[in-house]
């Protein structure tokens, strides 16, 4: 393996474990800077594969295929934290993996993640490990109800979660989560959800994109407003926590910290994502250096780029629901001059599936939010013609 501390320069080949929209936008940033990109996942004709130089289709469990893939690139990163930790370890035998496999191992499992945060003094809501309905009942007695039951591993976009209001919900919640191991979290009466997307280099340099506000529907991110309308003290605290988390995990790359902001101004860490994040998509259009280019710079041991945001922004996700009952009206959204359209090249639309997003740039966040909401509404011909 080459000297892992040397910069990986344009012309080199970068490997991506995972092949979704995050890898696609990473590949776009890499191609623009003169890199080649190889992607590895069990699927073919993927969002990343459509813009990569090479698309390798194999199971993550095929460690020999993983080693062969990693042998053909200068560095490996990932765009999807549900890649097996064993996969990252196999890749690390042949090329640097950034962020490292231990970061992946910690953040892909809710119990390990919550335990790491708690043991290192980061603010989290009360939680308990549960492996049966009997333990669920005891945990609920200890932390109180209402509470949220979440599968311990491999959950995202609201999947593997159930809200519990009373003991009558125990059986159905346990069945719906469908896990042998789960985490019960105390319910948080929050004012809003915010996040910080940040990057850390091989030498420990740190940059961040401030706090943004996130609004969800059915457990899936719906809208992001950047910057968030929160006091400067909240932003300062959120950034300090994010920096300490990246340093504690020794992250080289991009990581998003999602927070609950309580009504008393207190922040609680909700989840970590060791990769570019949906709430950072606005940076593709609104910042000098996007989160995807920042990921590239970090994993390639290049200096981190400027995070200057040249205008307020709002991002709206486009889910597969918009394709019913007809294809969205792309001409209508193209007619909104300050809105940028991003589609991910996915072959089929289905409810809840992230198919793309819109970003509006404006003089104020309020105007950006109004414009992106109006543009998304205009995509639905059946609604705009009534």
Q: What is the pLDDT of residues 261-317, one digit of tens each?
A: 999 999 999 999 999 999 999 999 999 999 999 999 999 999 999 999 999 999 999
Question: Across the strands, what pairs with 225?
Answer: 213, 314
> What average pLDDT does this structure show over 94-115?
95
CATH number at residue 224: 3.30.470.20
What was the pLDDT predicted at 5? 82
22: its two tokens: 């995050």
Residue 193 and residue 270 in contact, taking contact as beta carbons nearer than 8 Å: yes
Q: Are residues 140 and 221 in the same domain?
A: no
Question: Across the strands, what pairs with 190?
Answer: 262
Q: How confident is the model at residue 172 (pLDDT cuts 50, 70, 90)?
A: very high
Is 7 inside any structural domain?
Answer: no
pLDDT above 60: residue 385: no
Peptide linkage before 117 cis (omega within 30 of 0): no
Half-sphere exposure of 158 (CA within 13 A, CB side): 11
Q: Are residues 196 and 178 in the same domain?
A: no
> What average pLDDT does this structure show over 131-149?
95
Contacts of 303 (CB under 8 A, 6+ apart): 201, 205, 297
pLDDT above 50: residue 386: no
> What average pLDDT does this structure show over 308-333?
96
CATH number at residue 48: 3.40.50.20
Q: Are residues 132 and 159 in the same domain?
A: yes
Is 107 inside any structural domain?
Answer: no
- Name the DSSP letter for residue 320: G
Compute the distance between CA of residue 312 and CA of residue 291 in angstroms, rounded to an integer: 16
Q: Is 18 left (phi over 0), alpha (psi -120 to 50) or beta?
A: left
Q: Cα torsion at 111, 116, 118, 121 (round to 10°)?
A: -170
Q: Are residues 90 and 204 in the same domain?
A: no
Is 303 inside any structural domain?
Answer: yes
> What average pLDDT does this structure show over 116-125?
98
**Which of the listed residues 186, 202, 232 is the one where a domain comes to its end?**
186
Q: Are residues 130 and 225 in the same domain?
A: no
Q: Which residue, 317, 285, 249, is CA-closest to 107? A: 249
Is 119 inside any structural domain?
Answer: no
Q: Are residues 146 and 248 in the same domain?
A: no
> What average pLDDT does this structure show over 230-259?
98
Is 263 inside any structural domain?
Answer: yes
Query: Residue 152 sits in which domain range?
Result: 126-186
pLDDT digits (tens, 9 = 90+) for 38-75: 999 999 999 999 999 999 999 999 999 999 999 999 99
What was the pLDDT predicted at 383? 59
> What average pLDDT does this structure show over 101-108?
94
Q: Are residues 69 and 144 in the same domain?
A: no
Q: Cα torsion at 259, 261, 262, 264 (round to 10°)?
A: 130
> Percentages helix, strand, coil for the chain, rounded to the nearest 5?
35, 30, 40
| DSSP-assigned states of every residue in 158-205 | TTTEEEE-SGGGHHHHHHHHT-SSEEEEE---EEEEEEEEEEE-TT--
What was the pLDDT predicted at 3? 57
Q: Where are the beta strands (DSSP E) in 206-252?
A: 206-217, 220-226
Q: Which residue, 207, 214, 242, 243, is CA-closest to 228? A: 214
Q: Are residues 163 and 90 in the same domain?
A: no
Compute the distance between CA of residue 208 and CA of residue 197 in angstroms, rounded to an integer: 6
Is 103 inside any structural domain?
Answer: no
CATH number at residue 172: 3.30.1490.20
> What average pLDDT does this structure show over 242-255?
98
Q: Are residues 180 and 242 in the same domain?
A: no
Q: Are residues 377 and 336 in the same domain?
A: yes
Compute the distance between CA of residue 154 and CA of residue 7 in angstroms, rounded to an integer: 33
Compute the distance between CA of residue 128 and CA of residue 186 in angstroms, rounded to an integer: 9
**Which of the listed residues 145, 168, 186 is the one where a domain comes to its end?**
186
CB atoms within 10 A of CB 65: 17
Is 318 inside any structural domain?
Answer: yes
Phi, psi angle pair for 192, to nearest 5°: -165, 165
Q: Which residue, 163, 215, 210, 209, is CA-closest to 192? A: 215
Q: Give Cα 323 distance to the centre of its chain.
A: 24
pLDDT digits (tens, 9 = 90+) for 345-384: 999 999 999 999 999 999 999 999 999 999 999 998 755 5
Q: What is the largest CA-CA distance in the chain?
A: 63
* Average pLDDT of the chain, as a whole number: 94
Q: Are residues 301 and 344 in the same domain?
A: yes
Is 272 inside any structural domain?
Answer: yes
Q: How confident is the model at residue 180 (pLDDT cuts 50, 70, 90)?
A: confident
C-alpha distances (whole Å) from 324 to each of 171, 219, 358 are 34, 20, 18
How many distinct structural domains can be found in the chain?
3
Q: Are residues 174 and 207 in the same domain?
A: no
Half-sphere exposure of 80 (CA within 13 A, CB side): 25
> What average pLDDT does this structure show over 200-225?
96
**Which of the listed residues 137, 165, 186 is the one where a domain comes to its end?**
186
Question: Across the strands, what pairs with 313?
Answer: 226, 361
């Amino acid at each position: 393996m080459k000297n892992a501390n040397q910069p990986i320069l344009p012309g080199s080949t970068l490997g991506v474990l995972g092949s979704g929209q995050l890898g696609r936008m990473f590949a776009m940033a890499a191609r623009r800077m003169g890199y080649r990109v190889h992607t590895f996942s069990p699927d073919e004709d993927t969002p990343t594969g459509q813009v990569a130089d090479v698309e390798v289709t194999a199971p993550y469990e095929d460690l020999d295929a993983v080693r062969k893939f990693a042998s053909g690139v200068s560095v490996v990163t990932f765009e999807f934290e549900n890649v097996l930790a064993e996969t990252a370890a196999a890749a690390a035998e042949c090329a640097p993996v950034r962020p490292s496999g231990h970061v992946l191992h910690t953040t892909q499992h809710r119990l390990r993640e919550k335990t790491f945060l708690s043991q290192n003094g980061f603010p989290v809501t009360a939680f308990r490990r549960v492996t049966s309905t009997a333990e669920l009942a005891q945990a609920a007695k200890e932390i109180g109800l209402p509470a949220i039951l979440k599968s311990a591993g491999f959950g995202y976009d609201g999947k593997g979660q159930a809200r519990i209001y009373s003991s009558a919900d125990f059986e159905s919640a346990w069945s719906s989560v469908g896990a042998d191991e789960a985490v019960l979290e105390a319910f948080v009466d929050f004012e809003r959800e915010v996040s910080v997307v940040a990057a850390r280099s091989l030498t420990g340099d740190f940059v961040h994109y401030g706090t943004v506000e996130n609004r969800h529907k059915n457990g899936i991110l719906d809208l992001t407003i950047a910057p968030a309308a929160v006091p400067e003290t909240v932003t300062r605290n959120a950034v300090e926590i994010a920096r300490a988390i990246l340093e504690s995990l020794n992250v080289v790359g991009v990581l998003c910290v999602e927070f609950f902001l309580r009504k008393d101004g207190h922040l609680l860490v909700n989840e970590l994502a060791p990769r570019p994040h949906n709430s950072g998509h606005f940076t593709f259009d609104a910042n000098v250096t996007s989160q995807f280019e920042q990921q590239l710079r970090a994993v390639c041991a290049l200096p981190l780029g400027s995070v200057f945001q040249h205008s307020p922004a709002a991002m709206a996700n486009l889910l597969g629901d918009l394709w019913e009952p007809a294809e969205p009206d792309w001409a209508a959204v193209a007619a909104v001059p300050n809105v940028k359209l991003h589609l991910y090249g996915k072959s089929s639309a289905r409810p809840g599936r992230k198919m793309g997003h819109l970003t509006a740039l404006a003089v104020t966040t309020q105007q950006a939010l109004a414009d992106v909401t109006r543009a998304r509404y205009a995509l639905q011909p059946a609604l705009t013609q009534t």
